């Protein structure tokens, strides 16, 4: 067994704190592994960091009455595979072998239903607000590990797979920094993002 393989157990990465979400399902019956990583941003309530509200949302334990904003998302049953907190802590909610509910109605490269063939990675943050350097460090490490386990060919934002609905991770996300950290070719990222000012 290789070191990379031993870091994974049933689709769970040993370096992440595991918090099981009930919001997932099987990947398509063809058994094809995920080839796409989708970067999101989330904060609950918007612009507030450090609490456990994201964990509660992904595990169906959020108190909808705890903040006025929560009424707008009442009843949501969503998840992502991973969450990277502002301080760099990495949490995992769904095995990468399973289908997390993160992209919604989505399409990339002519294929719909991105949840079927992607891994969802949430960054604690708000669209168009800068992310922390440690979040990029953890994201790059996670993507390298994922690419050793799955044939991840591209990394995109939620805004790229659902442009009519979503804006995350937003204009402040530094795609060039991520690409440089990874050392991956330009084709692994959405067209134009590496040339953005």
Q: Which residues carry out catalysis?
A: 122
3-state secondary structure of 8: strand
Closest listed residue to residue 161, CA positions, set 99, 114, 101, 118: 114
3-state secondary structure 65-129: CCCHHHHHHCCCCCCCCEEECCCCCEEECCCCCEEECCCCCCEECCEECHHHHEEEEEEECCCCC
Is the CB of residue 112 less than 8 Å from the CB of residue 39?
Answer: no
Three-state DSSP class for 37? strand
Contact 111, 29 (CB under 8 A): no
- Classify the phi-psi angles of 130: left when phi > 0, otherwise alpha if psi is within -120 to 50, otherwise beta: beta
107 forms beta bridges with 112
Structure tokens at 34: 């995920």
């Amino acid at each position: 067994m290789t070191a990379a393989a031993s870091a994974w157990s049933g689709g769970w990465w040993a370096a992440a704190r595991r918090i099981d979400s009930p919001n997932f399902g099987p990947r398509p019956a063809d058994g094809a592994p995920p080839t796409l990583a989708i970067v999101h941003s989330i904060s609950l309530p918007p612009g507030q960091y450090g609490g456990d509200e994201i964990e509660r949302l992904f595990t169906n334990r959020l108190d909808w009455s705890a903040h006025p904003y929560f009424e707008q998302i009442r009843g949501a049953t969503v998840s992502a595979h991973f969450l990277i907190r502002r301080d760099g802590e990495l949490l995992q909610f769904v095995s990468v072998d399973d289908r997390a509910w993160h992209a919604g109605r989505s399409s990339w490269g002519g294929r719909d239903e991105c949840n079927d063939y992607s891994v969802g990675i949430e960054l604690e943050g708000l669209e168009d607000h800068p992310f922390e350097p440690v979040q990029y460090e953890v994201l790059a490490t996670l993507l390298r590990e994922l690419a050793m386990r799955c044939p991840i060919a591209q990394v995109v934002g939620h805004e790229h797979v659902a442009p009519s609905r979503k804006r995350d991770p937003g204009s402040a996300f530094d795609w060039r920094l991520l690409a440089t950290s990874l050392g991956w070719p330009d084709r692994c990222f959405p067209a134009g993002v590496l040339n953005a000012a």
